[in-house]
Amino acid sequence: MNKFKSFAVNLRKILDEEDIKIDEPMKYHTSFKVGGPVDILITPRNFQQVVDVIKLCGGKKIPFYIMGNGSNLLVKDGGIRGIIIKLIKLNHIKVEGNRITAGSGTSLKDISAAALNNSLTGLEFACGIPGSVGGAVTMNAGAYNGEISNVIESAKVVDNCGDVRILNKEELKLGYRMSSILMYGYTILEVAFNLEKGEYQKIENRIDDLNRRRSEKQPLEYASAGSTFKRPAGHFAAKLIEDSGLKGESVGDAQVSEKHSGFIINRGNATASDILNLIKVVQDRVKEKFNVDLYTEVRIIGED
């Protein structure tokens, strides 16, 4: 029994047996539908379990990785040595006046719907982003002229020592695909949003319009991690890729989407290596043609 499997004995003192999976294939937990096995994957049900596990990992020097629903994550084919803490069960939503509090594992679609149901405006942009609240704050997710930094009030986080604190908007240091969560390796437990009262029908119409536009322009019928690359200063990644003649370019079953060049998709049987090799092809071609460096927005972890 390796050290990670023996570590599961300690985890069973904190978590229910059904919330601990050994040698779990990550292809079942990422929107790309690829990825080798992680030694242990856990799904805590409350804040205290998250804190206790992080403290335990620190004490035993066990590496751990935080994830929500895996919509911006690419796990390599060799899998992950250590523990994945999947926060998808921290999915509560509480509405008080113009304030919405949500667990980090809450889907953006669900919190956008909660805002609509309470005639609160500000989260319409999030209705079609396939991520969780925690991941959205970590990357300061945005779309269609809206972003998390416009509506967030604070976030409850735990550091790698197991200390819990509340960070206000300024302390979160939200920028383009950046935050203090990334800088310091915090784990988000809960987020508070401060919205404005609006008209239900106008909010619903905006959500319907954004969902229609996404369906028309994005390859939602294929597995992907959304936009693969960050927006380079002064450019649009998708246009650079298309103008480099890369629309439809493939490596194995990984392909630059013919519908939206900013997306790399899994046409069905791609491996993580296929996707990574295609990312390299795109980066090299764009650099050669336009002398612009493309950096991935998707988070890449694991072993080859």
The pLDDT tens digits of the residues spanning 128-178 come to 898 999 999 999 998 888 999 999 999 999 998 899 999 999 999 999 889
Residue of 24, 147, 249, 297 with catalytic role: 297
Q: Are 300 and 78 in contact (CB under 8 A)?
A: no
Q: Kindly report which listed range (42-51, 76-85, 173-182, 242-251) carries the lowest average pLDDT score.
A: 173-182
Active site residue 45: no
Residue of 104, 147, 154, 177 with catalytic role: 177
Report the pLDDT averaged over residues 218-222: 95
Report the C-alpha gap between 295 and 19 in whole angstroms. 35
pLDDT attached to residue 2: 62
**Tokens at residue 81, please?**
């040595």
Active site residue 18: no
Report the C-alpha gap between 7 and 12 in whole angstroms. 9
Beta bridge partners of 121: 196
Report the pLDDT averaged over residues 253-280: 98
Q: Are 202 and 196 in contact (CB under 8 A)?
A: no
- Domains belonging to the chain, first-starting first, are 3-86 (3.30.43.10), 93-202 (3.30.465.10), 219-301 (3.90.78.10)
pLDDT band, very low/low/confident/very high, at 6 (cuts 50, 70, 90): confident
pLDDT attached to residue 57: 94
- How far from 20 is each of 31, 75, 291, 301, 303, CA to CA, in Å? 21, 19, 47, 20, 21
pLDDT band, very low/low/confident/very high, at 1 (cuts 50, 70, 90): very low
Angle at 141 between CA 138 and CA 143, to 5 degrees: 180
Report the pLDDT averaged over residues 265-280: 98
pLDDT attached to residue 143: 87
Report the C-alpha gap between 102 and 94 in whole angstroms. 6
**Tokens at residue 115, please?**
């805002």
Q: Which ranges constitute the DSSP H helices of the chain?
A: 3-11, 47-60, 108-117, 133-138, 169-172, 180-184, 200-217, 237-243, 272-290
**Tokens at residue 95, please?**
């509405």
Active site residue 297: yes
pLDDT attached to residue 218: 94
| Residue 124 pLDDT exceeds 70 | yes
Q: Kindly report which listed range (2-6, 14-18, 87-91) carries the lowest average pLDDT score.
A: 2-6
| Residue 4 pLDDT exceeds 80 | no
| Residue 5 pLDDT exceeds 80 | no
pLDDT attached to residue 48: 98
Report the C-alpha gap between 26 and 116 in whole angstroms. 33
Residue of 179, 224, 227, 244 with catalytic role: 227
DSSP assigned state of 248: T
**Tokens at residue 166, please?**
């509340």
Report the pLDDT averaged over residues 265-282: 98
Percent of the chain with pLDDT over 90: 93
Query: What phi and psi values does residue 253 have, to the nearest 5 degrees?
Result: -100, 10
Report the pLDDT averaged over residues 236-245: 97
Report the C-alpha gap between 77 and 37 in whole angstroms. 8
DSSP assigned state of 269: S
Report the C-alpha gap between 69 and 108 in whole angstroms. 11
| Residue 98 pLDDT exceeds 70 | yes
pLDDT attached to residue 235: 95
Report the C-alpha gap between 292 and 132 in whole angstroms. 31
